[in-house]
Every structure is written in structure tokens, then in C-alpha cells.
Amino acid sequence: MSNELKENGMEMTDNGVVIAESREPLPAGVKLPIYMDNHATTQMDPRVLEAMLPFFGNVFGNAASRNHAFGWEAEKAVETAREQVAKLIGCTPKEIIFTSGATESNNLAIKGIAEMYRERGNHIITQVTEHKAVLDTCKKLEKAGYRVTYLPVQANGLIDIEDLRRAMDETTILVSIMYANNEIGVIQPVQEIGKLCHEKGVIFHTDGVQAVGKVPVNVQTDNIDVLSMTAHKIYGPKGVGALYVRRRNPRVQISEQINGGGHERGMRSGTLNVPGIVGLGAACEIAGTEMSVEAERLRSLRDYLKAKFEGALDYVHVNGDMQHHLPGNLNVSFVYVEGESLLMGINDIAVSSGSACTSATLEPSYVLKALGLGDDVAHSSIRFGLGRFNNKAEVDYVSDKLIDVVSKLRELSPLYEMVKEGIDLTKIEWAAH
Ligand code: PLP
């Protein structure tokens, strides 16, 4: 196997990843494979790990043990983390509930509010490009008799606030619209959405996973009532997250979804994951201090990547409004390139494609389709997620490699050739076969 790979210019790393073998010495700062998929998860910051380590060792108490020093020490660490999280999003520590991550936070928020306010109404509004943790939760509630409106997005990925206004009625109890999208990086008009919700007396929940720690998020000025977040997208550990639940103006109540010892003010029972929570707190603290410098650096790397593609290639389609956008995100369709071949050609770079593997087929991303992209264009799309540990040399390597692979694939593409010859593909009548 390894010889076979070598003959084809590839090799396998210790952890089984097949990568293209580099035939030339790599530039300084580049080590293969390159990780540029920071919306999927992030590498833990060594400072976060350092903060967590004692809690895997001799600081092992249960934060709910009220009658001895082991418990007090754990509780103290949890309360410090609660303050760190609260500070990052502008709320009070009491408004933070620790969870196992954003999937749980979204479930707790949406199901918990739906159940608690059932008497008031049964209508929920969300939008089509939400993460599955929101969409599938809403679908489940539909089966339980709730009515859910899925707002469309415009071609730039943003909702139209007037659509939201029109969708609201006297039975609406909850609006759940994400802060920033995990595929196309667009930032929704959260302040306006929250303002409208408050005018109408509707609770506003936002999935803040991709925004918190990356752009300034403030639940007061952003008019947010409930917000989900997770540690592993902000250089913290996996399996820990939080839910912000507003206590004043308005006081939001949530019906618990896990029953047990009454932890987290009764909203989320279960022994607290003290090392994880400490890690989340440390990640928030670092994000708060470094966010503005980091965002500027990532924005300029992202713009550089985009400019290189646009300078070297034609038919490069950038997805999502670039004015309201996460600094580290770039989602590009390399039109007239076959998606699977493209991914195979860049297998020493970790990015995400515009296709999702379902059980049997490769489905085009529902987010890209919601923007109006055809299946082929969606399949030819790549999401680049730049993060704290990426550098300019990597961006150069990635852009050069993509330009090279896309150019080669287009040389083989009859569609590209036809377009270059000025043939309008929409006017062609293809023979069925
Ligand atoms: N919401 C968004 C927007 C995400 O990107 C993710 C992560 O994939 C989640 C929710 C789920 O978060 P977690 O992995 O913490 O369950």
C-alpha cells in the first residue's frame, strides 16, 4: 500500500491520513497536512490546556460537594469560568448555564422555551440555513404539534428582516436565528432581529457558536435573550459549552430537558465537567483579550487568499455577503470544476467541501442551495476556515495549490472549454442518456 501510494506521489501519515508527497522542500512555516477547517473545530490553545491540567490531576472534586474543600475548590474554578464566559458576551455570571456543547445548548433553548411558553403560543420562527442542531430540533417540535416557519435567505445568505416581521403573529413565542453561519460565514442582522422580537414580546435565541470569540458579541446591545456557544470552536476542549439565559428585561424561563440533581439552577442536571468548564473559561478569557488583533490578522489573510484566487482564476464565485462576514471565513465556488476531483487534488489541505456525505450519495450543501446555487456549483465549493494557528506561508501554499489544481481540472473540462468559446450553456439541449 505505502509503495503504491509513493509511486503516485502520495504518502500516509502516522495517523493514516493520505497526503500528497511534497517533491520540493516546503517553505518555512508550512507543515503538511495544513489545517484550514477552523469552523469544524479548532486546535486547543496550549494556554487552555495548561489551565485545565490540574483538574485532571489532584484537583478532582465535585463542584456540587458543598461540605468539603475538594468540592469548594472545584466550585471556585467553575465560578471563575462562569465569570470569564459572562464577561466575553456581556452578561452576568448567573445567566450562564454549562452544557456539553452547542448541540445540547440549542436543544435546551428551543425545546425548553417551547415547553415553558406552550400556553402562550405554539409558533416558532427560524431560517433555512441554520445548523442541524436547530433545524432537527424544530422538526421534532413540529411532530409534537408546534408550528415552525423556516424563513428563506437572500442570495447573499442574509434573512430579510421584513420576512421576519411578516412571519410573526400573536402565537409566536420564539425566534431562533443564528449569529454567524458555519458554512458561508455571514453575520445576520442580530441587533435588528432582537429589537423586533422585543417590540413584539417574542423571545430571541441565537446560535452564537461561530461568532462568539471571533467578533464582538454583546447580549445587551445585540438584544439577545438566549445564546448557545461551545468551547471547541474557540480553541477550547470538545464536549463543553454554555447557554446564556436572560434573567431581566425580559426574564426568560426554560423548562429543563435533563432531570436529576438540579444543577445549574435546575436547568441542566448532571455533575459538572470541571476541567472542560475551566477550559471554556480560559478560552473565553483569551478570546476577549486577543479578539481585535486576531480578527484583523485573519481578515487580512482571508482577503489575501480571496485576492489570489480572483487574480489567477476566472469563474470564481464567492459565497455570502462579504460586508457582514466572519474574519476567518471564505467560501468559494470554483465553477466548472468537478468537486470530488478537486478535493482529491488538494488532499494535503484540510478544508470542507460544498458536499455532505449522506448514507449513499454526495448531497450538495443545503446552505449553498438556499443561496440559489445549482448542484454542480455547490459541489465545486470549498470552505476555508482560517484560525489562530494559520500563517501567511500556509495561505500561500493553499492558494497556489488550489490555483494549480483548478487550472489543471479545467483543462480537462469540456464545459469550461465551451464557456471559454462563448457558448451559452443554459441554451444547450443536452441529450438524455
Ligand atoms: N451550531 C453551529 C453553527 C455549529 O457550527 C456547530 C458545530 O458544528 C454546532 C452548532 C454544534 O456544536 P457542538 O459541536 O458543540 O455540539
Report the separation in Å between the CA atom of 234 and the middle of ligand 1, taken as the mean of its atom positions. 12
106 CA: nearest ligand 1 atom = 10
With cut-offs at 50, 70 and 90, classify the pLDDT of residue 400.
very high
Q: Which whole number is the average pLDDT over 262-286? A: 97
CATH level 3 topology of 47-287: Aspartate Aminotransferase; domain 2 (3.40.640)
User: Whose C-alpha lies nearest to ligand 1, atom 16?
Assistant: 103
pLDDT at 8: 47
User: Whose C-alpha lies nearest to ligand 1, atom 7?
Assistant: 40
pLDDT at 406: 98
Report the separation in Å between the CA atom of 241 and the middle of ligand 1, taken as the mean of its atom positions. 10
- What is the best residue among 233, 235, 329 to mutate for testing ligand 1's pocket, by most ligand atoms within 8 Å of CB? 233
With cut-offs at 50, 70 and 90, classify the pLDDT of residue 179.
very high
Q: C-alpha cell of 200?
A: 413584539
Q: Which residue has the higher pLDDT, 124 or 11?
A: 124
Residue ranges, comma separated, of all CATH 3.40.640.10 domains in the chain are 47-287
Tens digits of per-residue pLDDT, 189-228? Answer: 999 999 999 999 999 999 999 999 999 999 999 999 999 9
Q: C-alpha cell of 125?
A: 420562527
Q: Which whole number is the average pLDDT over 336-340? A: 91
Residue ranges, comma separated, of all CATH 3.90.1150.10 domains in the chain are 2-43+291-414
With CA atoms as reference, report the closest residue to 116 among 77, 174, 36, 51.
174
pLDDT at 1: 47
Report the separation in Å between the CA atom of 103 and the middle of ligand 1, taken as the mean of its atom positions. 6
- Architecture of the structural domain at 2-43+291-414: Alpha-Beta Complex (3.90)
Tens digits of per-residue pLDDT, 292-311? Answer: 999 999 999 999 999 999 99
Is the CB of residue 339 below 6 angstroms from any atom belonging to ligand 1? no
Q: Is position 284 annotated as part of the catalytic site?
A: no
Report the separation in Å between the CA atom of 101 and the middle of ligand 1, taken as the mean of its atom positions. 8
Tens digits of per-residue pLDDT, 57-89? Answer: 999 999 999 999 999 999 999 999 999 999 999
pLDDT at 428: 75
Q: Which whole number is the average pLDDT over 236-245? A: 98
